[in-house]
């Protein structure tokens, strides 16, 4: 199982330079049934960003995608877990959202976090980009 950082979704939703790479990742993992996980925290962040940009159709489409993607699960953190996340902020030198993603990735024993955020490189997580996952497809 791989954990998806918020920036992976935003790269595609905001049609940024690596959007095609993300699209290929979603197609590949769906075809192969490779389990993906994201946090509910990510969904809320994306909802806020798209709403603030008045991208309501994109928001609805995104939420339908998450709902209908059978190999994508959403992890909801409990308050007790978020207390632990708050402790990780200073321990790992991450901001709260990165600490939350770190916590969930570790708690759920994901193989890696798929992210463009190099902050995770200073942690004990394996970080990979969509392109790196696709290149290592033979090993999955």
CATH number at residue 106: 3.40.50.1010
pLDDT the model gives residue 67: 97
- For the chain, residues with pLDDT lower than 50 are none
Q: How far apart are CA 41 and CA 36, in angstroms?
A: 15
Q: How far apart are CA 129 and CA 27, in angstroms?
A: 15
- Domain total for the chain? 1
Q: For residue 72, what is the enclosing H or E element? A: strand 72-75
pLDDT the model gives residue 116: 97
Q: How far apart are CA 13 and CA 18, in angstroms?
A: 11
Which is nearest to 34 in space by CA: 26, 46, 45, 44? 26
pLDDT the model gives residue 139: 58
Containing structural domain, residue 20:
2-139
pLDDT the model gives residue 140: 57
pTM: 0.94
pLDDT the model gives residue 137: 75
């Amino acid at each position: 199982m791989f954990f998806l950082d918020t920036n992976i979704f935003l790269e595609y939703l905001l049609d940024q330079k690596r959007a095609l790479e993300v699209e290929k990742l979603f197609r590949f993992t769906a075809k192969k049934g490779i389990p993906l996980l994201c946090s509910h925290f990510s969904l809320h962040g994306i909802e806020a960003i798209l709403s603030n940009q008045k991208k309501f159709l994109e928001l609805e489409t995104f939420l339908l995608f998450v709902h209908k993607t059978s190999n994508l699960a959403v992890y909801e953190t409990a308050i007790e877990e978020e207390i632990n996340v708050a402790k990780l902020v200073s321990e790992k030198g991450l901001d709260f959202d990165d600490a939350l993603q770190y916590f969930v990735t570790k708690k759920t024993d994901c193989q890696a976090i798929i992210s463009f955020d190099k902050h995770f490189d200073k942690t004990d997580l394996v970080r990979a980009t969509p392109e790196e996952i696709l290149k290592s497809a033979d090993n999955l």
